[in-house]
Amino acid sequence: MNAPHNRRLPIGVFDSGVGGLTVLRALREALPQEDLIYLGDTARLPYGTKSKSSIVRYASQATAQLQGRGIKLLVVACNTASAVALDALQEQMQPLPVIGVVEPGATAAVAARPGGRHLVLATEATVRYGAYRKAILRRDDHAEVRELACELMVSLAEEGWTDGGIAEAIIRRYLEPLAELDFRPDSIILGCTHFPLLRPALERVVADATAIVDSAGTTARVAAASLADDELLNEQQGPGRLQLMATDGASRFARIGGRFIGEDLAASDIELVDL
Ligand code: DGL
């Protein structure tokens, strides 16, 4: 059973790993008074190369863990889980709201370049499900969308090699086939929560006129609007509490997660949980 509606409950956020902390950071900026509870399923990362049934099972177990703690809203801060498992998670969480990152990302892209050519950089599973293509075309039938699986970019972000020659060379290599197809994107959508860390390298590789779209800010605004509509905004004074959980590797989570969240973390800040 879901916890009863309660404005004092935290917002639950999960990702396959640390990448979703980019969304958590945007949530903290948009909703500083909210308590947040984050789960990174680091033991099973990456989700992006797995089958639909595994992704749905993993995402459902992560959701159950957060449900068990008592949350008022779930943010699926993982593009792969949002693309593949959102319907199942919405059913599991009923009547509480579930917000994924794909729909807000599509909204941001269409707003940035109406009628434009959009390139989605994502995981294999997100590309296979074409969730961004569908979401963008639902909003703008003049848009053109191409999706590109860039698995190595997840590893680059996890390793912290987000800037400099290696990151730029790998991004260039992924974009090469598009140049051959003469596809010049008006917008590039960071369709994986790890990719905002690679934004500076990407900006150096692509044309200045190309908008780089990140779903984190739009997702946080959708979450804020959902809480306001449901009269679930936390009205406590002072900053909200942050609770971090992972399924493996507290030290690694702290070391790499700190870069995503923009502050130093210690292994003792991370609670290890078994799903
Ligand atoms: N966080 C995942 C996403 O946004 C990328 C990492 C993974 O494949 O699990 O799609």
Same domain, 169 and 193: yes
Same domain, 107 and 96: no
Euclidean distance between CA atoms 162 and 155, whole angstroms: 10
Same domain, 248 and 195: no
Over the stretch 142-163, which tens digit does the pLDDT of each residue have?
Answer: 999 999 999 999 999 888 899 8
Euclidean distance between CA atoms 102 and 132, whole angstroms: 6
Please report, for the domain that includes residue 35, its CATH number. 3.40.50.1860
Query: With contact defined as beta carbons under 8 Å apart, do 154 and 48 qualify?
Result: yes
Ligand 1 proximity of 103 Cβ (cutoff 6 Å): no
Same domain, 77 and 149: no
Q: Which helix (H) or strand (E) holds 6?
A: none
Ligand 1 proximity of 192 Cβ (cutoff 6 Å): yes
Over the stretch 176-232, which tens digit does the pLDDT of each residue have?
Answer: 988 888 888 999 999 999 999 999 999 999 978 899 999 999 999 999 999 999 999
Ligand 1 proximity of 260 Cβ (cutoff 6 Å): no
Coil vs helix vs strand at 272:
strand
Query: With contact defined as beta carbons under 8 Å apart, do 234 and 36 qualify?
Result: no
Ligand 1 proximity of 78 Cβ (cutoff 6 Å): yes
Same domain, 109 and 206: yes
| Ligand 1: centre distance to CA 192 (Å) | 6
Count how many domains the chain has. 2
* Candidate from 50, 56, 75, 123 with most ligand 1 atoms within 8 A of CB, to mutate: 123
Q: What residue numbers bound the domain in which 138 lies?
A: 103-215
